[in-house]
């Protein structure tokens, strides 16, 4: 266990030092009110408000830093957490960095499913721990060939029969004339914590819970919109069916608006178009839609 060397009361948060995970994590933190204030050693550390300090490391090293106590919290992909094998506590699925760890074979291979992969098959992957565990669980003995990257080229070179690699759209696999035969793991970015720190330190536990709540409120808000409209009082019952809201429709009297009320509700972004169309059909006017910065149920 690494001894904490940062100031008492300051929570260290391990973040990926580059790439899309890093960009999305920093953007999410900023939306929650934690803007990174870089010091001279910009690539290593940054302040995040008064209570948090960001520690920038390789995404694959985040679970190690958190599990060893060098950081109290961390953000990285579920695939890297699983591959590390380290004991951490998952606090929140952050919803970005979505991908899958899949097994793929050459397009002309007869294999159509994971269960059809024969014993003794050589599998190239940069996720040897997850891959070995998965096939062991299926009762299939395979030969794992760890690689650091570019596993897709292995079948073309004749050094592997199957590759296990990450994909989000499958386009890279298709470019290399590979076909998916099954998914081993679904992944996205996660907020994790050192379980020992949560148990021993009330301050860490409180800060971790507050951060998870703040980030969750931002994520919820991203998928919602606040809608306001003036609607005929006589159609209010029908409007309630169109705008149920989170906990029911909010209705406000309109000053000097005899026969009209203002209806307010939080709606799913995906439902905006049909919702506005239905409101217009009920005689609604002055419809206003705004973004929501944070939403805590």
Give how many domains the chain has, as a whole number. 3
Residues 139 and 35 in one domain: no
Residue 267 sits in the same domain as residue 144: no
Indicate the pTM of the whole model.
0.86
Report yes or no on 269 lying in a domain: yes
Interhelix angle 202-222/19-31, nearest 10 degrees: 90
Which CATH number belongs to the domain containing residue 143 in this structure?
3.40.190.10
Mean pLDDT of 55-70: 97
Asked if 156 and 260 sit in the same domain, the reply is no
Last residue of a domain, one of 170, 186, 202: 186
User: Do 252 and 244 form a contact (C-beta atoms < 8 A)?
Assistant: no
pLDDT number for residue 118: 93
Is residue 83 located within the same domain as residue 113?
A: no
CA-closest candidate to residue 184, choices 107, 116, 99 = 99
Integer Cα distance of 261 and 254 in angstroms: 5
- For position 132, what pLDDT does the model report? 97
CB-facing half-sphere around the CA of 78: CA atoms within 13 A: 19
Three-class SS state of 25: helix
What's the pLDDT at 157? 61
pLDDT value of residue 228: 95
Question: Do 109 and 146 reside in the same domain of the chain?
Answer: yes
Q: Are 273 and 211 contained in the same domain? A: no
Task: Kindly indicate the confidence band of residue 245, based on its pLDDT and cuts at 50, 70 and 90.
Answer: low
Q: Quote the tokens at residue 180.
A: 């998916």
Mean per-residue pLDDT for 263-288? Answer: 95
Same domain, 24 and 163: no
CA distance 143 to 284: 65
pLDDT at residue 150, as a whole number: 66
Co-location of 27 and 81 in the same domain: yes
* Residue at a domain's end among 170, 200, 221: 221
Does residue 182 sit within a domain?
A: yes
Give the per-residue pLDDT at 3.
38
Q: What percent of the chain has pLDDT over 70?
A: 91
User: Which pLDDT score, from 0 to 100, does residue 187 have?
Assistant: 98
Average pLDDT over residues 3-28: 83
Inside any domain, residue 4: no
The answer to the question of residue 6 being in a domain is no
Interval 114-123 mean pLDDT: 94
Q: CA–CA separation, 239 vs 250, rounded Å?
A: 11
Q: What is the CATH number of the domain that holds 260?
A: 3.30.70.120
Mean pLDDT, the chain, integer: 90
> Among 165, 159, 166, 113, which residue's Cα sits nearest to residue 140?
113
Whether residue 296 is contained in a domain is answered as no
Give the model's pLDDT for residue 147: 83
Question: Is the pLDDT at 195 greater than 80, yes or no?
Answer: yes
pLDDT in tens, 79-94: 999 999 999 999 999 9
Do 204 and 255 have their domain in common?
no
pLDDT digit string, tens, across residues 17-52 = 999 999 999 999 999 999 988 755 556 889 998 899
Identify whether 38 is part of a domain: yes
Residues 113 and 46 occupy one common structural domain: no
The reply to whether 65 and 196 lie within a common domain is yes
On whether residue 2 sits in a domain, the answer given is no
pLDDT at 38: 73
pLDDT at 49: 86
Residue 8 has a pLDDT of 55
Distance CA 294, CA 218 (A): 5
What pLDDT, on the 0 to 100 scale, is given for residue 30? Answer: 95
pLDDT level of residue 1 (50, 70, 90 thresholds) = very low
Cβ-Cβ contacts under 8 Å for 229 (sequence gap 6 or more): 262, 263, 279, 284, 285, 286, 287, 288
Assigned domain for 3 exists: no
Q: Could you list the residue range(s) of the whole structural domain that residue 165 is in?
A: 99-186
Q: Looking at residue 152, what is its pLDDT? A: 66
Q: Within this chain, do residues 119 and 264 fall inside the same structural domain, yes or no?
A: no
Residue 119 has pLDDT above 90, yes or no: yes
Closest CA to 11 of 292, 260, 201, 285: 201
- Mean pLDDT computed over 98-110: 94
Domain end: 186, 206, 235, which one?
186
């Amino acid at each position: 266990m690494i001894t904490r060397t940062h100031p008492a009361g300051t929570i260290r948060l391990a973040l990926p030092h580059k790439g899309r995970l890093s960009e999305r994590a920093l953007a999410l933190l900023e939306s929650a009110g934690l803007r990174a204030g870089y010091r001279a050693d910009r690539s290593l550390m940054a302040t995040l408000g008064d209570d948090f300090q960001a520690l920038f490391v390789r995404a694959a090293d985040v679970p190690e830093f958190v599990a060893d106590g060098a950081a109290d919290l961390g953000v990285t992909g579920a695939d890297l957490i699983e591959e590390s094998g380290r004991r951490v506590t998952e606090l929140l699925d952050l919803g970005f960095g979505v991908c899958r760890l899949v097994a793929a074979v050459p397009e002309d291979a007869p294999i159509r499913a994971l269960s059809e992969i024969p014993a003794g098959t050589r599998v190239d992957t940069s996720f040897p721990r997850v891959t070995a565990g998965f096939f062991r669980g299926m009762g299939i003995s395979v030969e794992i060939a760890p690689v650091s990257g570019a596993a897709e080229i292995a079948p073309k070179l004749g050094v592997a029969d199957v590759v296990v690699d990450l994909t989000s759209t499958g386009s890279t696999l298709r470019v290399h004339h590979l076909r998916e035969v099954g998914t081993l793991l679904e992944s996205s970015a996660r907020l994790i914590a050192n379980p020992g720190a949560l148990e021993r330190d009330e301050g860490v536990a409180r800060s971790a819970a507050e951060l998870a709540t703040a980030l969750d409120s931002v994520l919820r808000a991203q998928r919602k919109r606040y809608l306001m409209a003036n609607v005929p009082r006589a159609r209010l019952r029908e409007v309630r069916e169109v705008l149920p809201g989170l906990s029911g429709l909010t209705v406000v009297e309109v000053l000097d608006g005899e026969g009209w009320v203002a209806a307010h509700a939080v709606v799913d972004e995906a439902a905006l178009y049909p919702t506005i169309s239905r409101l217009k059909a009920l005689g609604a006017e002055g419809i206003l839609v705004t973004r929501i910065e944070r939403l805590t149920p």
